[in-house]
Every structure is written in C-alpha cells, then in structure tokens.
Amino acid sequence: MFGSGRPVLVLPASQVEPLVLNRVCVAWDHSEPAARTLSLALPILKCAERVDVVTLDTGRVQAAPGSARAAANYLRRHGVPAHPRTLSPDGRKPGAQLIETALSEGANLMVMGAYGTPRVKELVFGGVTRTALEKPILPLLIAN
C-alpha cells in the first residue's frame, strides 16, 4: 500500500461469497489520503447503486460537516450516486463507529484513506485505519 500509488483491497477472512459492490460507504475526513483514495476508487464507485460519504464531526476543521457534502458533490459530477452523511461522536472509537454505520446501512465495501494521521501516533493511540485493518468485517478499499 505504501509507495505503490495504488489502492489495496482487503477482504475479511470470512469472505466466501463473490464481492458485490452495489452499496459503498466512503469514510471521508478531507485528508490527502482520503482524497487520493476517492479518486482512485472512481471506477468502482461508478458501478455502485448507492454511495454514502460519511464523515465524523470531531470538531476538526478538515472534517467539518460541509466536507462530506463537497465530496458527494465531486462524486455526483462524475456520475456516482453519492449521498453525504455527517455523524456525531457517540463514545465509540471513530473507526468502530464508521464501520458499524457502514454495516447498518448495508454497505458491502468501505473506501477509505489509510493513515491520515502519523503512523507512530496511530500505532500508540490507535486510529481509524488500525481499527479497520485489525479485524476487517467488511471489504475495504484503502490507499495512502
């Protein structure tokens, strides 16, 4: 994933059925890795019936509520049926909240940028990428 310039598809160990990509969740934080991954995922996203662009409003400027709307508008301009959604923190780890939201919405793929925070910080404190990769429970398309 690092330095390849290409996304990586991570499948859960339990994945036995063929991969269906009709419902996709994009984890959006307005970071460089998220933007790169969104661009790289366009061919897949164009095939989806619905794409939810989900951001977590943590109070950081880069993840402001309007940023999910801006990303969804970008996707719609490219023919992707995208819908923005902003979540409020609910006490769970951000990664767990994003993944559980994707599952509750029926997503069968999550697209996300990897390691938008420094890897050392994520190693020590955890983070969305680490949470998603520890035990993937839905297919992930990730890039850095």
| Per-residue model confidence as pLDDT tens digits over 45-71 | 999 999 999 998 866 544 555 689 999
pLDDT band at 33 (very low <50, low <70, confident <90, very high): confident
Instruction: Report, in angstroms and rounded to the nearest whole number, the Rg of the chain calculated over CA atoms.
Output: 14
Instruction: Tell me if 1 is assigned to some domain.
Output: no
Is residue 76 a contact partner of residue 83, using CB atoms and an 8 Å limit? no
Give domain status of residue 3, yes or no: no
Confidence at 124, pLDDT banded by 50, 70, 90 = very low
Q: How many domains does the chain have?
A: 1
Measure CA 63 to chain center: 13
What pTM was computed for the model?
0.83
**Domain assignment of residue 68, yes or no:** yes
Evaluate if residue 136 carries a pLDDT over 70: yes
CA dihedral 37→113→81→87, nearest 10 degrees, is -160
20 vs 5, higher pLDDT? 20
Whether 128 and 92 have beta carbons less than 8 Å apart is answered as no
At residue 89 the predicted structure's pLDDT band, cuts being 50, 70 and 90, is confident
The predicted model gives 9-35 an average pLDDT of 89
d(C-alpha 24, C-alpha 105), whole Å: 9
Strand (E) or helix (H) holding 120: helix 119-125
Q: Would residue 104 count as lying in a domain?
A: yes
Asked if residue 102 is part of any domain, the answer here is yes
Does 2 fall in a domain?
no
CATH number, domain with residue 74: 3.40.50.620
